[in-house]
Chain A
Amino acid sequence: MHDGSGRIVVQGLSKQFGPIIAVNNLSFTVEPGSVTGFLGPNGAGKTTTLRMLLGLVRPTAGGSTINGLPFEQLGNPGRVVGAVLEAQGFHPTRTARNHLRVYATAMGVPDERADQVLALVGLSEAGHRAAGSFSLGMKQRLALATALLGDPQVLVLDEPANGLDPEGIAWLRAFLQSFARTGRTVLISSHLLAEVEQTVDQVVIISRGQTVYYGGLDYLRQSQQSRVLVQAADPQALVTKLQEAGVNAVEPTPDGRLAITGVDRKTVADTAMAAGIALYDIQQENVDLEQLFFRLTQGQYAGQQPPPGYGPPPGGGWGPPPGPGYGPPSGGYAAPTYAPPQGYPGTPPQGTPPGYAPPGYAPQGTPPQGYAAPQPGYAPPQDYVPPPVDPQQYQQQYQPQAAPPPEQPPGGGWGGNA
């Protein structure tokens, strides 16, 4: 029998479809009691990985376990794992209630459970309707109801927010968090970090079938840094003054301004004021999670070479997290250095690599795209502890040398938008 731990372990998982390597030596662990986001751009191998985990796709190499056992050894898997893989999988003329009753029978739960889960996902009224007449959002709800039939310990969801209205997304978030708070496990995939940012505690980020980040979302948040861009009358004097004040992360930008990292706008202005240096322009820019996610995964279609115009920073002094070793654990990642493209905000993009656009870039305080109304009563996890399993390999690489305080408390993304 399975060990009842609720732990998902993916070990060296690989899948090749003909000449295409969909998943390449993927390893991560999902711990119970938390919501883990499984992130990556379209085509990164998320769905294939989840389907391998659930025994639907045979891995080329490696394996995975749920509760210590491969899926096909779970006995009655519907009582251990619930999965929302797609908003299809319904016979178009079978009613929602009959659909649920079929699978309730298969996993040996009473028929009343079908009505319970219908009520749970808000489909009680539509239970007698054929699933083929459902909207995409209703199908997603029915898929979730199916996943919950066996009252499973582990929930695996593949892009469950697709087709859900904002109200549905907010409901799903609250539901998943309360589900995880009862000590159960949630693994949820998405191609949008913003979509799950408020829901997840941990993230596994993959790109081109490989893990590029695995660890707590807090560590990613901490590596969010802002920098101040100033146009000074005497840049050299300002650099000297800043260095005297202990601010060393200063570098010139290609357009003649200074980029100062690790301080806020006020400190820079005060320093300039005290030194009597005129400032013609001063602005603060923030690197948000979405951008970081984008950088982590942007190698997806860029091939092995860094795209033109996207190179190491001129001075090398700017950029959290610093140092070599930033990046994915294996080779083949296109952009190993954390560097903005030249002409980063303020100037027209020059030589922007194909596909590079800062869709997730947003000024501080602006909710990310896809953000939905917060759920009343939501409380961010208070004492999130990173899992004991060996994520240090990645996490250490991400910790800034002098870790700045996070811009927001974990889960604080809710706060500014209430």
Chain B
Amino acid sequence: MGRLISAEFRKILTTKMWWALLIPTVALAALWSIGGNALVGAIVDQTDQSEIAGAVKANVSNLPWSTLIFARTVNISALFPIVFGALAVSSEINRRTITTSYLTAPNRGTLLGAKLITYAIWGLAFGVVITGVDSIGMAIASHPEQLPDAVSWLEIAGTGILSCMLWTLLAMGIGALFGSPIAAIISLLLYTLLVENLIGLVLPDNWPGILINGSADGLTGSVAAQLIVDKVSTISPYFNQEAQDAASNIARTLAGARGAFDWWISGLIFAAWTAAFVVGGWFMSKQRDIT
């Protein structure tokens, strides 16, 4: 297994795909985090001076709004680790290198296990880069009073990294399931960016939160939303439980995770989706004839 993991790392590092995907990842994360935080800062400044804020006696500008943008940035930047993972198996099938890979591995299961570990590590690496760029962008563009504290930042960065890793593995499973890079990438992007949003619109309450993208967004978005809701109760004495729930839902929607469950439930749901696709891909790979 160790040999095969080393071989997988060599496969990745001897081609350009990893940095060809890493560059746009950094660019996209920087763009979203800087642009988003600047926008939110401007909106909050407007709201703060409005009459509603004064009526509820809330100092809106002191909330950690930047975490919402942080979560959204992670979710959109995960696009690239998704592509990276989707190519893990499907590209080998497409380029026919899978033949030699199978011929030099004890069996197909071992090779896929080695790939799973390798791509989990790479998914984590992508997550670290994304959350790193995201944090820097946030620090640059956000109002200082809207930044999260250190513990909150660790929480949200941790879920962001976990989300990227799971996305990479889920995409790898889909790539192995379909056996075609184009089919895997197109269907993943189409589904996460379009189809699930349409489905989510017609689903009531918490239902969007059990879908693939919904649970993934919930993993990061719910943490961010919770940080804001927790803060709200400290700044406004009129905030009862009912109002907190309502605010929480609004905050999750703002974080791009409408209807999501708490972060750990979302995480478990998303991990289950990942496991389902990995098992599906593993099963298909066992069956597939390499002709």
A contact set with B: CB distance below 8 Å: 17, 47-48, 51, 54-58, 72, 74-78, 81, 83, 85-86, 88-95, 98-99, 101-103, 105-108, 146, 150
Are A91 and B15 in contact, with the CB atoms below 8 A?
A: yes
| Residues from chain B with Cβ under 8 Å of A58 in the complex | 287, 289
Are B291 and A103 in contact, with the CB atoms below 8 A?
A: no
CA distance A83 to B7 in the complex (A): 19
For residue A34, give the distance in angstroms from its CB to the closest CB of chain B: 23
B contact set with A: CB distance below 8 Å: 3-4, 6-7, 10-11, 14-16, 95-97, 99-108, 287, 289-291
| Residues from chain A with Cβ under 8 Å of B3 in the complex | 105-108
Given the known inter-chain contacts A102-B7, A105-B7, A107-B3, please indicate yes or no for A86 contacting B14, CB distance below 8 A: no
CA distance A94 to B100 in the complex (A): 14
For residue B45, give the distance in angstroms from its CB to the closest CB of chain A: 49
Interface centre among B11, B16, B104, B287 (most CB of A within 10 A): B104
Task: Identify which of B96, B105, B106 contacts A86 (C-beta below 8 A).
Answer: B96
| Residues from chain A with Cβ under 8 Å of B104 in the complex | 77-78, 103, 106-107, 150
Are A106 and B289 in contact, with the CB atoms below 8 A?
A: no
Are B291 and A91 in contact, with the CB atoms below 8 A?
A: no
For residue B83, give the distance in angstroms from its CB to the closest CB of chain A: 17
Task: Identify which of A51, A85, A91, A107 contacts B95 (C-beta below 8 A).
Answer: A91
For residue B2, give the distance in angstroms from its CB to the closest CB of chain A: 9
Are B289 and A57 in contact, with the CB atoms below 8 A?
A: yes
Are A88 and B96 in contact, with the CB atoms below 8 A?
A: yes
Are A105 and B99 in contact, with the CB atoms below 8 A?
A: no
What is the chain A residue whose CB lies nearest that of B13?
A98
CA distance A81 to B100 in the complex (A): 11
Are A95 and B102 in contact, with the CB atoms below 8 A?
A: no
CA distance A83 to B100 in the complex (A): 8
Task: Identify which of A17, A81, A93 contacts B103 (C-beta below 8 A).
Answer: A81
CA distance A75 to B14 in the complex (A): 26
Are B10 and A86 in contact, with the CB atoms below 8 A?
A: no
CA distance A93 to B19 in the complex (A): 14
| Residues from chain B with Cβ under 8 Å of A47 in the complex | 291
CA distance A48 to B4 in the complex (A): 26
CA distance A23 to B103 in the complex (A): 21
Are A94 and B291 in contact, with the CB atoms below 8 A?
A: no
Task: Identify which of A56, A93, A94, A106 contacts B99 (C-beta below 8 A).
Answer: A56
Are B290 and A57 in contact, with the CB atoms below 8 A?
A: yes
Are A56 and B7 in contact, with the CB atoms below 8 A?
A: no
What is the chain B residue whose CB lies nearest that of A95?
B14
**Minimum-distance CB pairs A-B, first 5:** A106-B7, A98-B14, A78-B104, A56-B290, A105-B7
| Residues from chain A with Cβ under 8 Å of B101 in the complex | 103, 106
Are A51 and B100 in contact, with the CB atoms below 8 A?
A: no
| Residues from chain B with Cβ under 8 Å of A72 in the complex | 106-108
Are B291 and A83 in contact, with the CB atoms below 8 A?
A: no
Are B99 and A102 in contact, with the CB atoms below 8 A?
A: no
CA distance A78 to B4 in the complex (A): 12
What is the chain B residue whose CB lies nearest that of A93?
B15
Task: Identify which of B16, B99, B289 contacts A89 (C-beta below 8 A).
Answer: B99
What is the chain B residue whose CB lies nearest that of A82?
B103
CA distance A107 to B10 in the complex (A): 13
Are B97 and A90 in contact, with the CB atoms below 8 A?
A: yes
